[in-house]
Amino acid sequence: MINTVLGPISEDELGITLMHEHIVVDITGAEKSLEKPYSVEEVVDYVLPFLMDAKNKGCQTIVEATPLGLGRDLEVLVECSKRSGLNIITCTGAWDGADVKGLSVPKDIQDMTIAEITNVWTKEFEEGIDDTGIKPGYIKLALGDEGKIFPLQEKMLRAAARTSNKTGMFIACHIWASVSLPLVVEILEEENVPYERFIWVHADGQMDMEKILEYGKKGIWLEFDTIGAAEDFKKFPPAIKKLQEENLIPQLLFGQDSGSFWIKEGDEDWPMRPYARFFNEFVPFCEKEGLKKEFFMKVLEENSKRVLM
Ligand SMILES: [Zn+2]
């Protein structure tokens, strides 16, 4: 069974699963994000047509990748799931990607010890988030984008590792700078986290094939998930073919990093990244390069199921 925002579901109910999407993303910081300057209705009306397009293309489940501090909003997720009929999986964890240096990490998490954070995240899994009864399906992290692991990031990574070892939840960790991956894996090894419980989120960010192959062979999951924001898809077919040659397709996951209803400073317009781009644009492009639609659907269904269950 895996937890969704509407309760646990069995593996037969997962179907085609996109591994990394967003509904609300608030980048104004963890404290400000609690203000929620929008109504649930407003968000749902905005994203629902995009969700329905993905559903009509065969998608049944969306793994939502926004932890507390970055805009996780369970009321919105519940309403989106009810109205679209899609399963939505939420997360525990915290986000410290880009160069924001703790801005999106809740203040109380920043002040806690590893053991205390582990307790908070484990409690969300065992008892539910706050008093909602909704349980996370996995642990989301973001770190290492400046080529090193800061003390706050190491603390969160060790807490994620210990939460994973207690609960069995997998860790999905945003690491854009591939140079940071070995530093992260070293800490996971010290914490005895099995490789198959770790997803390298944005493995395709720099498409560093050397690290992709080396760490894929160790057994970590490789998530190609920058598809939603990609200017074009040229780099993907050769990388996928290389994974086929090296028998690493069993380690591959797909997401888009799509959405979002953005909450940010300034007037610049950030467009929504449609949830169906994978089906409408990415797969047709790759088909022209000789990759089959069935291959993509199989990865979305079977590999996603293996990591989630
Ligand atoms: Zn993301």
**Tens of pLDDT, residues 145-181:** 999 999 999 999 999 999 999 999 999 999 999 999 9
Query: What is the residue-averaged pLDDT of the chain?
Result: 97
Question: How remote is the CA of residue 140 from the centroid of ligand 1, in Å?
Answer: 10
Question: How remote is the CA of residue 271 from the centroid of ligand 1, in Å?
Answer: 15
Query: Average pLDDT of 296-303?
Result: 98
Question: How remote is the CA of residue 201 from the centroid of ligand 1, in Å?
Answer: 8
Ligand 1 is an ion; its neighbours by CB within 5 Å are 65, 257
Query: Average pLDDT of 216-241?
Result: 98
Residue 267: what pLDDT?
Answer: 87
CATH architecture of 2-308: Alpha-Beta Barrel (3.20)
pLDDT above 90: residue 50: yes
Query: Average pLDDT of 282-306?
Result: 98
Residue 251: what pLDDT?
Answer: 98
Query: Average pLDDT of 33-57?
Result: 97
Question: How remote is the CA of residue 95 from the centroid of ligand 1, in Å?
Answer: 10
Question: How remote is the CA of residue 304 from the centroid of ligand 1, in Å?
Answer: 17
Question: How remote is the CA of residue 299 from the centroid of ligand 1, in Å?
Answer: 19
Burial class (CB in 10 A: 0-12, 13-18, 19+), 62: buried
pLDDT tier for residue 299 given thresholds of 50, 70 and 90: very high
Give the span between the Cα atoms of 30 and 43, in whole angstroms.
Answer: 19
Question: How remote is the CA of residue 100 from the centroid of ligand 1, in Å?
Answer: 15
Write the DSSP string, 141-182: EE--TTSS--HHHHHHHHHHHHHHHHH---EEEE--SGGGHH
Query: From residue 224, how far is each of 129, 176, 208, 215, 235 by CA, in Å?
Result: 29, 11, 12, 14, 11
Question: How remote is the CA of residue 191 from the centroid of ligand 1, in Å?
Answer: 25
Quick: pLDDT tens for 236-283. 999 999 999 999 999 999 999 999 999 999 989 899 999 999 999 999
Question: How remote is the CA of residue 1 from the centroid of ligand 1, in Å?
Answer: 24
Give residue limits of the domains in the chain. Answer: 2-308
- Per-residue b or e along 198-213, where b marks 16 or more CB atoms closer than 10 Å to that residue's CB: bbbbbbbbbebbebbe
Question: How remote is the CA of residue 222 from the centroid of ligand 1, in Å?
Answer: 15
